[in-house]
Amino acid sequence: MRRGFSLFLLPLMLAASPFTLNPLAAEPDGAIIDASGDKALTYPVAKRLDLIEDHFGVKVADPYRWLENDVRADPAVRDWVDSENALTRRYIDGLPGRAAIKERMQALFSHGRYTVPRKAGNRYFYGYNKGLQNQTPLYVRDGLDGKQRLILDPNDWAKDGASALAEWAPSPNGRYLAYAMQDAGSDWRSLRVLDVDGGKRMDDRVDWVKFSQIAWDGRGEGFFYSRFAAPAPGEAFQSSNEDQQLYYHRIGTAQDQDQLIYATPDRPALSHQAQVTSDGQWLVIQSFVGMDPRREIHVARLDGQPVNPRLLAKGPARDWRLIGSRGSTLYFITDDHAPHMRVVALDAERPRRGPREIVPERDETLAGGSLVGNRMILAYMAQAQTVAELVELDGRKVSDVPLPGYGTAAGFGGRDGDPETFFSFSGFVTPSSIYRFDTATLQSSLFAQPDLPFDPNDYGIEQRVYPSKDGTPIPITILRKKALADHATAAPTILYGYGGFNISLTPGYSATRMAWLEQGGVYAIANLRGGGEFGKAWHDAGRGQNKQNVFDDFIAAAEWLKANGFTPKDGLAIEGRSNGGLLVGAVVNQRPDLFAAALPAVGVMDMLRFDRFTAGRYWVDDYGSPAKAQDFSLLYGYSPYHNILSGRNYPAILVSTADTDDRVVPAHSFKYAAALQAADLGERPHLLRVESRAGHGMGKPIDKLIDEYADSYAFAAAFTGLTIRSRP
């Protein structure tokens, strides 16, 4: 089994009733002031439907339901989006400093970047981007010191650079490479196979793959993958994803000959993913319903006979994360009788024996693990930082894993009997370097290191804690030039948050964020409840009926930054993506007075219909279900689309989405932007930016990424008072 995990090394300094308002009550006045301050811009007209629905006795208006239609198929939606983009382009192109910050972002991307190598046979596969290549090509070396050879260059797949190399996996001996092609940022994948020896693509093609791993059998004759049925015409980017099935594809055959391995038509909400142990003996099938780590586990012996999965752990009820195997002994990280997680062994031949404890639960949360060679690498999330440890298979600790310093390590993939592993290490102001680690000798060596186009010593990283509304201490990390800190100078600030789905915000480098810091801006990252920084209890405190805690945490961060001299009175912008876009939309409605600008991107904005599209049904674990009366009341109370405060002065808002986002469909942003523009919210602009041939984020070409953030940060700078200079 070739898999890895991330080590989170961030030092962690890190219910009010929601607003329920008259939805979409105001008509627009239609005019805003453009960047020069002397020309009126008029929002495109968005027709309003007389559509009101009854939800548990509550009358809910949805006048912009028509914007849920596919922008590629509905001319009316397409024309409205084109008009919105034209308005936004005119406005942002008039902002001072937009060209300068784009130029600096390009310079900050202009250095070589490697991905963590994966070993197969005697070959090492890894990505390498020279700097400004839209997509990262894939290379191979025969032997660690072998000559680098290009085997896949996705930059040749589309003229606009919007086709990307997504998931990929070499066969166990390195002869073949199965890889996923992603077009225009969609979650849909097409799988192909490369003959690595000859460097030629084979005829194999597998379509309608989504949310899948690629798991080779031990003989390298084929691989397991997950797919959905082909959607009806016109429904590929909107229809709900249900009844996922697990298949086996044999190299050299057509997809219609693929073998169905596992499906649950009686439980269509279950999704299924495959892993194969590194010795090739066992197929492990993980089945789950939503985003919660609750899985049902089936196993099957891979001995050349028909694959016959049988139950190993009934569910979905507990978290079971496979980290390795020895013979029929499978090692898992689990929360079974252990809220902070423990390591157990299960016997694939005798599942009724139940789990045998290897590493017991302790106060710190066990965040991840990997079996490399004959030992395990485990990562614990503690109050101050995450510690990586090397552990024998009987649970005895060998040593801490030596790491280069403060930051985030990720990778640590491995295979049976081979002590060699690789990991990346990065920080807030340092791009990733790649290291090789030997679990037998405990020695690390540098594999690849980027050239830095700036001096990281010019920047300070400050960890603080602030109280939320209910007194809960919330960690926050503040990034800024040391000169600002030395002189206690308040400066225009972007506050970023996420707060959901058990996701931890940890140190990581961003070239676009560095451009903001270089200009003298402050960047703050709040570790809100709903994330994974403090384990299950922290996650639970920010989801479902506790979701308002997340908004309270973010609002308290904004107030604290101003009260403690980091941010001027009118100098705060907020930023969030996906669930973080929901966060931004909700807190703007609840406290519009706090913010000068807001940057909600690819956000979940209609909390009454999110579960009707593509992957939305998975999010019920965190949000609750709009179909349940108790959940409806809460969701309706904070839904950004339904709670816009007409008659109040709002911050400047740039809503960003993409036309091929089939994770959070762009209708969320379309409807929200139309509702903003229809309300009386003051003179500051409320604009919509829609990227073409792009999705939720993964696979976005570098040039589109730079353009998006140049627009966003020039917009934020204009309203927070940050002066952008060509040479900071």
36 is a catalytic site residue = no
Alpha helices in 598-727 (DSSP H): 620-623, 629-638, 667-678, 702-720
Residue pair 260/245 in contact (Cβ under 8 Å)? The answer is yes
Element of type H or E holding 102: helix 98-109
Show the tokens assigned to 524.
């703050």
Q: Going by C-beta distance under 8 Å and a sequence separation of 6 or more, which residues neighbour residue 687?
A: 84, 87, 88, 91, 92, 653, 654, 655, 673, 715
Residue 67 DSSP label:
G
SS3 content of the chain, % helix, strand, coil (to 5): 20, 35, 45
* Phi (first) and psi of residue 636, to 5 degrees: -65, -30
Q: How far apart are CA 186 and CA 706, in angstroms?
A: 19
Q: How far apart are CA 272 and CA 261, in angstroms?
A: 10
Cβ count within 10 A of residue 69: 17
- Antiparallel, parallel or unpaired: β 420-427 and 356-359: unpaired
Alpha-carbon distances, residue 297 vs 88, 147, 273 (angstroms): 49, 41, 10
Catalytic option among 272, 298, 686, 696 = 696
Cα 530 off chain centre by: 15
Q: How far apart are CA 91 and CA 503, in angstroms?
A: 35
Residue pair 560/391 in contact (Cβ under 8 Å)? The answer is no
Show the tokens assigned to 462.
């400050």
696 is a catalytic site residue = yes
Q: How far apart are CA 270 and CA 274, in angstroms?
A: 13
Helices 511-518 and 702-720, interaxial angle, to 10°? 30
Q: How far apart are CA 52 and CA 63, in angstroms?
A: 8
Helices 629-638 and 579-590, interaxial angle, to 10°? 70
Straight-line distance from the first to the last Cα atom of the chain, in angstroms, rounded to the nearest whole number: 47
Q: How far apart are CA 375 and CA 551, in angstroms?
A: 42
Catalytic option among 271, 426, 578, 639 = 578
Catalytic center residues: 578, 696
